[in-house]
Amino acid sequence: MRAQVAIIGAGPSGLLLGQLLHLAGIDALILEQRSGDYVLGRIRAGLLEQGTIDLLDRAGVGARLHAQGLVHGGLELGFDGMRHRVDLHGATGKNVTIYGQTEITKDLMDARAAAGANTVYEAEDVSVHDFDGKQPVVRCRKDGIEHEIACDFIAGCDGFHGVCRQSAPQSALQTYERVYPFGWLGILSDTPPVSEELIYVNHARGFALCTMRSRTRSRYYLQCALDENIEAWPDARFWDELRLRLDEETAARLVTGPSIEKSIAPLRSFVAEPMRFGRLFLAGDAAHIVPPTGAKGLNLAASDIHYLSGGLIDYYATGKTAELDAYSEKCLRRIWQAERFSWWMTNLLHRFPENGPFGEKMQRAELEYLVGSPAARATLAENYVGLPF
């Protein structure tokens, strides 16, 4: 088999890259170790920056997003029993949009199926070879049959635990990591959201977040210990704890119901440098992870695909490699800005017992400055809606 570009991973970044390359007339084969149903069943975030929306529009998959997405022009910060609104649109002229990652994945899958483009699901033992030369090869097994795909380039969109970063020469790879000493206990429920906009809460009992997937489906999170047993958190206990962390008005408005999904997610900051090894390019979670506090994970993956698709399209149109050569540097510049913002939001809003009373006083001072200073709110807004690609 042969393809111009072999894409490893059929999550949003791999599917988006495949769609953009298809529209440019470039033959891209996508390999995914899981089934399509499994990929669609993954519960992920869904707050989109305008740059991500523009990229999905370019890929021709923005219609349902614009019809069903919830446009937010602000967010709220809660502390000391009060809420304070940050006017994102007023400060930046931009909004963010709530549209689930699962829905993006479905839109991209449907577009790829309509185009007749090739995605191989349940591809086993995927491995990448010879990417340091001019003739990379990808090997896999499908339905018990071994396959070899010759290609010009390999795009590693296979996530944090994927094979592509692990296959890069470790002597050339530098990683940076911060593992946070807590996680997020999250539930999804078919209940109306408690607020039109997201509420981020700093509370003595721990961080809380009120968000949504639609006007009838809510997503809530609580800061919890990493060793918490999810079985110890029946729905009633979760709702009771959430009310304790919300201001009285919001708590009284909260509509509860059975959870349809419940999980505990650890928080981590991670960056791998560089993001290119010969003809192998890393993108999305394969190269970086951000704590979800800043809502940057999916948006960073989209910006990677913006740069990578542009470089590949330029190469096949002109034979020039300048954009591909600049890929890692351009991506990492934006990644570190997003890492900084996500780290700052995480430190601002969560409880860090090891920081003691002094740390709590610093948090309080930072929050008071933030809500009292137009310049500080503008800085938060500029980063939250997304820095330009």
**Which residue in 221, 307, 315, 384 is the catalytic one?**
384
**70, 103, 305, 345 from 63: Cα distances, Å:** 13, 12, 20, 32
- 131 and 257 in a common domain: no
- 138 and 122 in a common domain: yes
- 302 and 237 in a common domain: no
- 197 and 107 in a common domain: no
187 in the Ramachandran plot: left (φ > 0), alpha (ψ -120 to 50) or beta?
Answer: beta
Q: Is residue 48 part of a domain?
A: yes
Q: Are 211 and 98 in contact (CB under 8 A)?
A: yes
**Which residue in 22, 288, 296, 330 is the catalytic one?**
296
Rounded to whole angstroms, how far apart are CA atoms 180 and 174?
A: 20
Write the DSSP assignment of 317-357 as a string of letters.
Answer: HH---HHHHTHHHHHHHHHHHHHHHHHHHHHHHS--GGGHH
- 142 and 239 in a common domain: no
Positive or negative: CA dihedral 353, 355, 357, 359: negative
- 286 and 162 in a common domain: yes
- 283 and 166 in a common domain: yes
**Which residue in 99, 180, 200, 327 is the catalytic one?**
200
Q: Is residue 144 part of a domain?
A: yes
Q: Is residue 86 part of a domain?
A: no
Q: Is residue 130 part of a domain?
A: yes
Asked, as a colleague might, if the bond just before 291 is cis with ω within 30 of 0, I would say no
Our count of domains for the chain comes to: 2
pLDDT attached to residue 46: 86
Q: Which domain holds residue 104?
A: 5-70+98-177+268-345
**Which residue in 22, 72, 203, 330 is the catalytic one?**
72
Is 134 a catalytic site residue?
Answer: no
pLDDT attached to residue 52: 97
Q: Is residue 187 part of a domain?
A: yes
pLDDT attached to residue 41: 83
CATH of the domain at 282: 3.50.50.60
Q: Is residue 78 part of a domain?
A: no
Q: Is residue 274 part of a domain?
A: yes
CATH of the domain at 374: 3.30.9.10
- 292 and 143 in a common domain: yes
pLDDT attached to residue 116: 93
Rounded to whole angstroms, how far apart are CA atoms 329 and 274?
A: 8
**Which residue in 22, 292, 315, 327 is the catalytic one?**
292
Ranges under pLDDT 70 in the chain: 43
Q: Is residue 327 part of a domain?
A: yes
DSSP 3-state of 20: helix
Is 72 a catalytic site residue?
Answer: yes
pLDDT attached to residue 141: 97
Residue 128 phi, psi (nearest 5): -120, 140
Is 200 a catalytic site residue?
Answer: yes
Pairing status of strand 280-282 against strand 288-289: unpaired
Across the beta sheet with 96-98, the strand order is 47-48, 96-98, 70-72
- 288 and 159 in a common domain: yes
Is 384 a catalytic site residue?
Answer: yes
- 185 and 170 in a common domain: no
- 214 and 144 in a common domain: no
pLDDT digits (tens, 9 = 90+) for 150-183: 999 999 999 999 999 999 999 999 999 999 999 9
Radius of gyration of the chain (CA): 21
Q: Shortest CA distance to 308 belongs to which of 389, 210, 227, 222?
A: 389
Q: Are 141 and 270 in contact (CB under 8 A)?
A: no
- 106 and 16 in a common domain: yes
